[in-house]
Amino acid sequence: MSGRPTWAEIDLDALTRNYRTLASLLRGRSRLIPVVKADAYGHGAASVSMALARAGTTAFAVALVEEGIALRDAGISGEILVLEGAFPGQEDEVVSRAFTATVFSPDMVRRLEKAASSRSVQVSAHIKIDTGMNRLGASWHSLASLLEALRDAAHIRVTGTFSHLACAEEEDREFTLEQIRRFRQGLGRIREAGIDPGEIHLANSAGLLYWEELRGWTARPGIALYGYPPSPERCPAELRPVLTFKSRVARIQTISAGESVGYNRRFIARRKTDVATVPVGYADGYRRSLGGKAKVIVKGRCAEVLGTISMDMITVDVTEVPDARVGDEVILLGSSANCRVDAASWADALGTIPYEILCGISPRVPRIPIHLPSADCG
């Protein structure tokens, strides 16, 4: 590749395998709606969605209308569910782009109805019920007014009903069981109002992997598609990380004991040290807080990152990689036969979750779709 040698490889074979592995867990006629919001969790929504469409998926979920527009512009023709619904002023885009809107308030219904009626078309909508996450969705008390508005909306067709699980990956099952109970009650109220709830979906990645009782409904996997189980301690299905973050050695120099590296002299050598400079930094999503905590892989060996992470560069101790050379590939997130550095290990070091790590790889890092074998989780 030309230009700065820092990039992310997106293994579409691993993505497809993950999709099929997750789909194999389902029962009956239920299906997956892959979640490709946030640029497919940092993997590149257009190429990911195209690969999933080739694998057989017919629907996708995004958070924002803008994300749906980007998919349509990339040639994605399948169903696109907008999980956050339409903010005021976006109704015409929902209708004209044939999105499936999430609805959870009478106001949203009225705005969509007005936009659809002005074009004399039907718009598809999924009802979202708040079952205890207290974020988005119709509450138990507001559900009646939402259903009344939907009954009056001649141009809105309810094609699905869903909610979102807060902690399905946790071993304490009590709250998830309560959410399932509330969801079933909500479905009952929808039917009592004379509305068909349509396609029912509750399971996210955790719900699909850890709750067999939810596998008869449609599921919306996100992080599991990209190769990471929601609970690092449990990987009940064979999942393969899809993204590998790479760069190349730009410079190698040897420093003496007592010399320092980087801003604020946070690393001071205790011995003669071979230091490799790699052109990646916190502007690329290589988090500054990884300084002194991270490793990379050079020629199949783990090598420690030294000192403070700069905006555009990191420095690496390659003293134990005696054959290291300028131009050698550096794996920032990925694995070799002897070493593994993945989004879960970064997350452990930083006190966060793999989702944030993957979404945090910045747009200035090119995503390169490839077809390569990759390692299983666990």
Q: Within its chain, how far is the Cα of 151 from the centroid?
A: 35
Task: Write the CB contacts of 26 (distance below 8 Å, at least 6 apart in sequence).
Answer: 32, 208, 215, 216, 219
Phi, psi of 261 (to 5 degrees): -130, 130
Which residues are catalytically annotated? Answer: 37, 263
